[in-house]
Structure 1
Amino acid sequence: MNAFLDSRCEQLDIRGLRYNVRHWGTPDAPVVFFLHGWMDTSATFQFVVDALKQDWHVIAPDWRGYGESEWLRRPYWYPDYYGDLDALLAHYSPDRPARLVGHSMGAGISSAYAGVRPARVAQLVMMDFLGLTTTRPHEAPGHITRWLDSLQSDPPQRNYPDHDAFARRLLQVNPRLTAERAAFLAHTVSRTLPDGQVTMGGDPWHRVASPVRYQSDDALEAWRAIEAPVLLLLSDQGYVLKRFGETPDEIERRLACFANLQRVTVTDSGHNLQHDQPEQVAAALEAFLRRD
């Protein structure tokens, strides 16, 4: 049976919303922020924290609408995450630039932030994220139409009878998980409903696509302004290679945006490398992150 390190959570007001923030490690250890991805929660990093060899104070928020942070139960506006991150860093690291480790959506938020607030970021780790595929102007009306249509009713929510059923589902979609890790995730990245059923720990309104199309050139321009050293962790079977593997020139175009970049491939891993290969991830993080 795996022994998982204990975490502790606190609640605080971030821009008028109740935010849940998870902590691992001793408060006086070097601080590093772990930022989770879409339809996930802060507890997703448990196995990476367990694999760290040195003492770190890991601070990991549940983004708005995720985990134990407040759910809006209406559409979300992506730029709010930039504001939330700015407020979180002002609270926890007001006097020094921060070390940011972001997975997927968390990497998207933190990498844009590092470009527009370069003095606030000391180091940046992007986990299996190199932006989304490019969209075209002719797609814009369809984005608005789909968004308007989605407002007519609450989005569907997939429920499971209990945590064991949810754990079985996690094992089914990710065979790299152990039973112990699947059971842990089933309890910590979920919510228990009043009738006892279990659902993902993310407001189903996150599944409603934005009315604003993704513009990759905007993201790339922010990356060009990053001053901090960047570590890109790519899963050998992750989303980056699935999106851009057949267009290697596009990968190189995006990589060229970073002035100071290290790249590490995590082997035998899907998109959720923090679950699949936490030991590889922890080793790469500690080889990159400065402790001064």
Structure 2
Amino acid sequence: MKPSRSEFITVRELKYHIRHWGNEDAPKLFVLHGWMDVSASFQFMVDCLQQDWHVIAPDWRGFGLTASTIADSYWFPDYVADLDAILQHYSPHQPINLLGHSMGANVVLHYAGIRPQRIRKLINLEGFGLPVTKPAQAPERYAQWLDELRNPPSLRTYASQAEVAKRLQKTNPRLSDERAHFLAQHWAAPNADGAWEILGDPAHKNVSPLLYRVDEVLACWQAISAPVLWVEAADTDVWKWMGAKDSARIEIDRRIAVIADVRQAMVADAGHMLHHDQPQVLAQMIERFLE
């Protein structure tokens, strides 16, 4: 495995963990992980990159080794603002290559339309947005949010690193024992009692009281000026949250169509965690796109 190093910087008054791979003088590639994930998740993909890159991967607020917010909810605009501060720290003047997976992909798509001049090329791994909502859903959504604040969520603990690895393999059966063991040591850590805790703030499980306003999201996507590589997994489980496959596919294609310069790619024999399942195929796609 290619070695990585950790750095901690202050981002909007939070202690942020940033993982680095490669030579600091090499071209930069920023990579952003998804929900309930960590920066080390990109290790296998980074191992397969053939060119010399300086890969920079933050742990989002409340995940991994980055501090949690003091509030009881996480707001999507905070991720966008954190990303803006991180990019300003590491590349204040040069347009950057930006990659995101899942939740991280939704953040980078948003950001690329808000600050289009900052992006050289953009790579979206399985970032589709959320289902369309209607204003009539607002009262029930706010009620759900208030109920969840009364009963804060929790995350289960595990007896050992091996149990954490098995949990990861339950979610993704394609994970080899070796990869699951590696991810487990970054995805969780032992607490004072010796039990292994997930490195994620349970508050991430709370629903957002704000509805997903897709027209506003697509207005941001439409403002993206950089070339975009849109990558999906052939065996994605996106339908679990996007709805029935036939209707969700139509909506996803409608969203893709608003991006001015986009090319699409499909990764075979891979699920939502395609950077775990087919890292070599993905690395080749990325490097061809970034040339």
TM class, shorter-length: over 0.9
**1:289 and 2:290 matched:** yes
Q: Which runs of 5+ in 1 are unaligned?
A: none
Q: How does 1:221-232 map to 2 (within 5 A)?
A: 221-232=219-230
Matched, 1:182 2:180: yes
Aligned to 2:267: 266
1:129–1:239 CA contact under 8 A, matched in 2: no
**Are 1:123 and 1:228, in contact at CA under 8 Å, matched by a contact in 2?**
yes
TM-score by length of 2: 0.95
Question: How big is the alpha-carbon RMSD for the aligned residues of Structure 1 and Structure 2?
Answer: 1.3
Q: Which residue of 2 aligns with 1:25?
A: 22
Counterpart in the other structure of 1:217: 215
Q: How far is 1:46 from its partner?
A: 0.4
CA contact (8 A) 1:224 1:257 kept: yes
**1:123 corresponds to which of 121, 126, 134:** 121
1:48 aligns with 2:45: yes
Provide the residue aligned with 2:103 in structure 1.
105
Partner residue of 2:57?
60
CA distance in 1, matches of 2:163, 2:123: 33
- Counterparts of 1:133-148 in structure 2, within 5 Å, are 133-148=131-146
Q: Report the Cα distance in structure 2 between the residues aligned to 1:271 and 1:53, rounded to whole angstroms.
A: 24
Q: Where does residue 246 of structure 1 map in the other structure?
A: 246
Once the two structures are overlaid, the 10-residue window that deviates more, 201-210 or 243-252, is 243-252
- Equivalent in 60, 67, 70 of residue 70 of structure 1: 67
Matches of 1:174 and 1:86, distance apart in 2: 32
Aligned residue for 2:76, secondary structure, equals coil
Task: Decide which of 135, 149, 152 is 2:150's aligned counterpart.
Answer: 152
Is the partner of 1:122 in helix, strand or coil? Answer: strand
Task: State the Cα distance separating 1:240 from its structure 2 match.
Answer: 4.2
Structure 1, residues 46-68: CA drift from partner, whole Å, max 9, x if none? 00001111110000000110100
Q: Structure 1: which amino acid aligns with 2:66?
A: S
1:216–1:239 Cα change, 3 Å: farther
AA of the residue aligned to 1:246: D
Q: State whether structure 2 residue 7 is matched by structure 1 residue 6.
A: no
Q: Is the 8 A contact 1:128 1:239 kept in 2?
A: no
Which residue identity does 2:135 align to in structure 1? P
Q: CA deviation at 1:277?
A: 0.9
**Seq. identity, %:** 47
Q: Contact 1:223 / 1:257 at 8 angstroms: preserved in 2?
A: yes
Deviates more, 1:71-80 or 1:161-170: 71-80
* Paired residues of 1:234 and 1:266 also in contact (CA < 8 A): yes
Q: Which amino acid aligns with 2:162?
A: D
SS at match of 2:246: coil
Matches of 1:47 and 1:229, distance apart in 2: 25
Which aligned runs of 4 or more in structure 1 are off by greater than 6 angstroms?
A: none
**1:166-205 deviation line (CA, Å, top 9, x unaligned):** 1112122211111000000010122322211112221110
Q: Deviations over 1:55-105 (max 9, x none)?
A: 100000001101000012521122111110110010000011111100001
State the aligned residue count.
287
Q: Partners in 2 of 1:176 and 1:235 — Cα distance?
A: 13
* 2:26 aligned partner, one-letter code: A
> Aligned equivalents of 2:33 and 2:235: distance in 1?
19
Q: Secondary structure at the match of 2:155?
A: coil
Deviations 1:227-260 (A, max 9, x none): 0000011001114466363124323211111111
Amino acid in the other structure paired with 1:172: K
